[in-house]
Amino acid sequence: MLRFWRLVTKATKNFKSDGVYKNLANKEEKLCYIPSHRFLVIMRAVKEKELSIKIIIDTEYIESNIKKYKIPKNAFSSKEFLFETYRDGLKRLLLPSIEREVMQIVKEKADIKATEVFGKNLSWLLLTSPLVNEIILGVGEATLRDIVDELQKPGFDIRAEQPFIPFKEGITDIEQLKEGDRVSGVVRNITEFGAFVDIGLKNDGMIHISKMADKRVSHPLEVLALNQFLPVIEVISIDLKMGRVGLSLQGI
């Protein structure tokens, strides 16, 4: 059903042309081709009143099918009347109801994907050795006591010691980077579209899924893991204004 619907985005009066949603405004795309993470970002932009959206369907295709399959061939004088009745019911009653159902389906699908990625990230995080004076996960006091009791049992704590991370020496500010530089870093977060890597700067760099390997990657977790150390990463783009660094593992 989703292949017949298209999502249209439009910038509102609150839209920031240089903001985080700058590439999402005034677009039209088939719903079935929109990745879950992008749909969630679009919905966040709608919530923040920077974008408005609507979904549309190819009514000409549906109407041609109505004429072909729903109007009797022997309905000579009433053919036009029957068609107008079908079209009125379609636009006034059926499509608005289906539109709500379609949006619900897409949102549920996106939420499930996001939950799966969060769960995989959390499982890696819980296996990471503890960081001194850092809050990683907020839990209730009773739950925390149970966790501590279990981890104190001999041989139970399966978390390895976290090794020292050797970032590239002399690089402490984004302005010191240039395209083509090779840096090292640690994977701090994984999403459907890429991975955010701590390279020793204020902001993490990002490896898009299309730049993770020389082969096609369906999901970042196929080739990367949370807290994985990457000894060599290439800097492929730098946006000083937004504080963003694009990274690549291709050809490494």
Distance CA 47, CA 69 (A): 41
Q: Which domain holds residue 19?
A: 2-124
- Confirm if 87 and 63 have CB atoms less than 8 A apart: yes
Asked if the structure places residue 111 within a domain, the reply is yes
Please tell me the total count of domains within the chain: 2
- Summarize the confidence of residues 66-87 as an average pLDDT: 87
What CATH number does the domain containing 210 carry? Answer: 2.40.50.140
Asked if the structure places residue 166 within a domain, the reply is no
Distance CA 71, CA 92 (A): 19
* pLDDT tens string 189-244: 888 889 999 998 888 999 999 999 999 988 898 899 888 899 999 999 999 888 89
What CATH number does the domain containing 18 carry? Answer: 1.10.3500.10
Distance CA 173, CA 186 (A): 17
Asked if the structure places residue 131 within a domain, the reply is no
Strand 229-239 relative to strand 194-198, pairing: unpaired
Handedness of CA 67, 70, 73, 77 (dihedral sign): negative
pLDDT, position 151: 56
Please say if the pLDDT value at position 154 is more than 60: no
Taking the model in full, what pTM does it have?
A: 0.58
